[in-house]
Amino acid sequence: MSETEKKCNVCRLVLDYSCYYAHSSSADGLRGDCKECYRKNHAKYRPRAPSSDDSVKRARISTVPTIPGEHLYVWAFWVWRVA
């Protein structure tokens, strides 16, 4: 292993420094896993493309329009009841 190579912690291959992402808090300034292992491991956390099917979309919480200032009335009533 030369001075510009490092062993990946996941796949255990000895690769050049260019095969690693930077990581400022590590001793050598590189991540412990190579770019390929990083991509494979983090692919499951990437969001999937949104579905175009309308039945999958979430319904709105409330479709009834609220009265302007209604929340102030509820808050004032709650404060009055607690005090």
Check which CATH number belongs to the domain holding 14 and give it. Answer: 3.30.60.130
pTM above 0.85, yes or no: no
Is residue 57 a part of any domain in this protein?
A: no
Which residue's entry shows tokens 């099917």?
53
How many domains does one find in the chain?
1
Specify whether the CB–CB gap between 29 and 23 falls below 8 A: yes
Euclidean distance between CA atoms 7 and 14, whole angstroms: 4
Q: Tell me the C-alpha distance between 6 and 23, whole Å.
A: 14
Domain-embedded: residue 7? yes
Residue at 11 is within a domain: yes
Q: How many CA atoms lie within 13 A of 81 on its CB side?
A: 6
52: in domain: no
Residue 81 lies in a domain: no
For residue 34, pLDDT over 60 is answered with yes
Q: Residue 35: is its pLDDT beyond 90?
A: yes
Q: Which pLDDT band, with edges at 50, 70 and 90, does 67 fall under?
A: low
Q: Provide the residue range defining the domain that includes 14.
A: 1-45
pLDDT (0 to 100) of residue 63: 55
Tell me the per-residue pLDDT of 1-20, one tens digit each, with 9 for 90 and over: 788 999 999 999 999 999 99
What mean pLDDT is predicted for residues 31-56? 79
Task: Calculate the average pLDDT of the chain.
Answer: 78
Distance from C-alpha of 50 to C-alpha of 58, rounded to nearest angstrom: 12
Residue 38 lies in a domain: yes
Tokens found for residue 9 = 């912690």
Assigned domain for 10 exists: yes
